[in-house]
Amino acid sequence: MSNVITDKDGVKRYLITLHVNGDEHTILVKGNTTLTNALRDQLDLTGTKRGCELGDCGSCTVLFDGRPINSCMKLAVEAEGHDIVTIEGVAANGELDAIQQSMINHAAVQCGYCTPGMVLSAKALLTRNPHPTEPEVREAIAGNLCRCTGYVHIVEAVLAASRGDLIPDDAKHTMAGGAK
């Protein structure tokens, strides 16, 4: 491991380099700093949420070498040398990812606290399996707890994104002669 700095109380801090959203960030962390806290408190990437902090709720989900993990269950010092994607890294060139646009189209966001993790789990699924079935979508987001929506709109949003169906519902109604 890289540089270690010991303070007057004997607590060690480690100079580590994290590869996040395509950029390299060199930061100083303690041995017990979680990846969640390093991302939020040091890199200002506050889209990664602190929820249960015990690996149950999925609001701190990030992609770790392309796979979703709970960043609250990973030490920052253990994340060195791995490719990390947070919700801030999903929209490319200022344009929302299909999943993000679809979540808006389907009103799949209520309080929004679970949404970053939900989008990242869905992103990992569609990268590996571009045309999932509904049960596959439900399984992929099983580790992301939403207490607002009942998941129906979220599942519909992911399935629509997988079909490339990104026309907002309202626009669809207008084109079809308009229900409202």
Q: Which residues make up the interface to other proteins (CB under 8 A)?
A: 1, 11-12, 14, 30-32, 34, 50, 53-56, 58, 61, 64, 67-70, 72-75, 77-78, 121, 124, 139-140, 142-143
Tell me whether residue 54 or residue 176 sits nearer to other proteins (CB atom).
Answer: 54
Count of alpha carbons within 13 Å of 116, Cβ hemisphere only?
22
CB 42 within 8 A of CB 29: yes
Least distance (Å) between residue 12 CB and other proteins = 7
Q: Which two tokens stand for residue 126?
A: 């569609």
Instruction: Pick the closer one to other proteins by CB: 10 or 178.
Output: 10
Smallest gap from Cβ 119 to other proteins, in A, equals 14
First to last CA, the chain: 62
CA 71, CA 38: separation in Å to the nearest integer? Answer: 10
The DSSP call for residue 75 is B
- Whole-number minimum distance, CB 124 to other proteins, in Å? 8
